Amino acid sequence: MKRSFSTTVNTNAVNVWLLISRVAIGAIMLTHGLPKLEKLMAGNVQFADPFGIGPTASLAITVFAEVGCSILLILGLATRFAAIPLMITMLVAIFYAHAADPFGKKELPAIFLLIFTGFLIIGAGKYSIDNLISRKSRSRY
């Protein structure tokens, strides 16, 4: 019972949670990005243009975030970098794509935004390629 109310941080548990959440959230985001990749490859581009760069460029940037950055997230490679395009994509979803929709439609991108913000702040954790790279660079000096 005492452990249930403890405020000490178990770093091992945090690292396991970061691995689980990176893989799960990355995989879920891939399910949103892969259909967009297929749409882009087929040349069937009917997509929002929130920045005025054209629907094809907007779709390509979204595919980069939802597919490319999701894969990086799953691997734990350049995790903090990968979180930024994903966060921007979720902000666009909340404030542009679903601007006129009720909160229920904005809720999922808001949750994703919160999680990606956590990855930006905390990083990938111990079980990641980022950690392997960081350990190798520290051992050189």
Quickly state the pLDDT bin for 126 (edges 50, 70, 90).
very high
CB of 66 within 8 A of CB of 36? yes
Q: Which residue has the higher pLDDT, 141 or 127?
A: 127
Long-range contacts of 37-40 (CB under 8 A, 24+ apart): 37/63, 37/67
pLDDT digits (tens, 9 = 90+) for 59-72: 999 999 999 999 99
pLDDT digits (tens, 9 = 90+) for 52-108: 999 999 999 999 999 999 999 999 999 999 999 999 999 999 999 999 999 999 999
Predicted model pTM: 0.92
CB of 82 within 8 A of CB of 115? no
Domain ranges of the chain: 15-136
d(CA 10, CA 73): 22
Neighbours of 40 (CB within 10 A): 17
At 138 the pLDDT is: 73
